[in-house]
């Protein structure tokens, strides 16, 4: 799946699955073995896997195709954004995390997925009385998760389970069991809905017109142009002129509350002959507030610089 191509968020899951009533998610599916086995064990469920590794994406898709699994798909995306933006409230039956990288060093704390914000996202998209499940071989990480959900008003959690029986396990879990290594599980059951602010509910396509004639020097001077608010930031990293000199391509980096996107903005003539600033559609970003701000502020800056000549 490529949710960037959607014009609707949260996604309409009926367009992807024939029976989306029972949706489940695995975060960080690795080689895809667990996701495939999980989907085969519950053929009436629909499964979505999130992963950041392209190698893992390729391996999982091969397994899904080879074993003819129709009730699962994979998405190359940060799970924090994916859970918050792609699923409606009270829509997920189960969210699974198998042996995530715990990032044990303090300097890597910000890379850990498990924090209060993430627990609130789970509290929004999970169905009431359904669970987030964490399995890890790191006792301290399981205890961290237990403390996090114990302190949440949206979840209940009983204990950290040692070597829990599970109907589906990963190949590494099987190997570790044979070696006598211990595993730990935390099951956090949702009890109340958490309010969450979404970024993508308004999917308006941003664009801006430039009122004056555009010249290459003015556009190229945008390199390094920045804009920011409390939660959004963008930077124009590079500016490229088209070979026919009838337009420009700007490489832009934008951040929304820590979520980073690298994309391109086009400046060229539209059908009426006016200069237009818009998103490049080859690899479109999610139209987050920072992305929209970048397009609008680039347009305003071009009007300011062109008008001052």
DSSP conformation letters of 155-189: EEE--PEES---SS--HHHHHHHHHT---EEEEEE
Chosen domain end from 190, 225, 244: 190
**Number of domains present in the structure of the chain:** 2
61 compared with 309, residue with greater pLDDT? 61
* Chain centroid offset of residue 161 CA: 29
Span 290-299, pLDDT tens digits: 999 999 999 9
Q: Are residues 43 and 174 in the same domain?
A: yes
In a domain, 82, yes or no: yes
Nearest to 181 by CA among 139, 210, 212, 215: 139
**Domain hosting residue 87, numbered range:** 3-190
Residue 150 and residue 186 in contact, taking contact as beta carbons nearer than 8 Å: no
Q: Are residues 75 and 100 in the same domain?
A: yes
Chosen domain end from 130, 156, 190: 190
Q: Are residues 279 and 132 in the same domain?
A: no
**Cis preceding-peptide flag for 10 (omega within 30 of 0):** yes
Span 243-279, pLDDT tens digits: 877 799 999 999 998 899 999 999 988 777 788 999 9
In a domain, 93, yes or no: yes
Chosen domain end from 190, 223, 240: 190
pLDDT band per the 50, 70, 90 thresholds, residue 189? very high
In a domain, 226, yes or no: yes
Q: Are residues 178 and 221 in the same domain?
A: no
106 compared with 251, residue with greater pLDDT? 251
Tokens of 204: 């308006």
Give the 3-state secondary structure of residue 35: helix
Neighbour-count burial for 204-216, b at 16+ CB within 10 Å, e otherwise: eebbbebeeebee
Q: Are residues 156 and 34 in the same domain?
A: yes
């Amino acid at each position: 799946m490529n949710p960037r191509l959607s014009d609707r968020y949260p996604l309409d899951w009926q367009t992807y699955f024939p029976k989306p009533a029972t949706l489940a998610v695995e975060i960080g599916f690795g080689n895809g073995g667990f996701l495939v086995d999980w989907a085969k064990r519950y053929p009436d469920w629909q499964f979505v896997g999130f992963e950041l590794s392209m190698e893992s994406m390729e391996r999982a898709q091969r397994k899904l195709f080879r074993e003819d699994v129709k009730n699962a798909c994979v998405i190359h995306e940060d799970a924090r954004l994916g859970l918050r933006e792609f699923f409606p409230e009270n829509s997920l039956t189960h969210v699974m995390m198998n042996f995530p990288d715990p990032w044990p060093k303090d300097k890597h704390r910000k890379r850990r997925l498990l924090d209060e914000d993430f627990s609130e996202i789970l509290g929004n998209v999970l169905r009431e009385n359904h669970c987030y499940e964490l399995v890890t071989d790191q006792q301290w990480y399981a205890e961290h998760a237990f403390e996090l959900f114990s302190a949440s008003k949206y979840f209940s959690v009983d204990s950290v389970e040692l070597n829990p029986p599970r109907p589906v396990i990963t190949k590494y879990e099987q190997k570790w069991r044979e070696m006598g290594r211990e595993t730990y599980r935390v099951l956090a059951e949702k009890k109340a809905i958490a309010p969450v602010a979404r970024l993508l509910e308004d999917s308006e396509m941003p664009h801006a017109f430039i009122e004056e004639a555009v010249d290459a020097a003015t556009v190229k001077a945008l390199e390094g142009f920045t804009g920011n608010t409390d939660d959004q930031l963008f930077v124009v990293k590079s500016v490229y002129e088209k070979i026919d000199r009838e337009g420009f391509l700007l490489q832009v980096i934008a951040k929304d509350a820590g979520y980073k996107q690298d994309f391109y903005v086009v400046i060229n003539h539209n059908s009426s002959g006016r200069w237009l600033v818009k998103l490049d559609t080859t690899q479109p970003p999610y139209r987050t507030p920072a992305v929209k701000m970048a397009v609008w502020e680039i347009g305003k800056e071009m009007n300011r610089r062109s008008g001052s000549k």
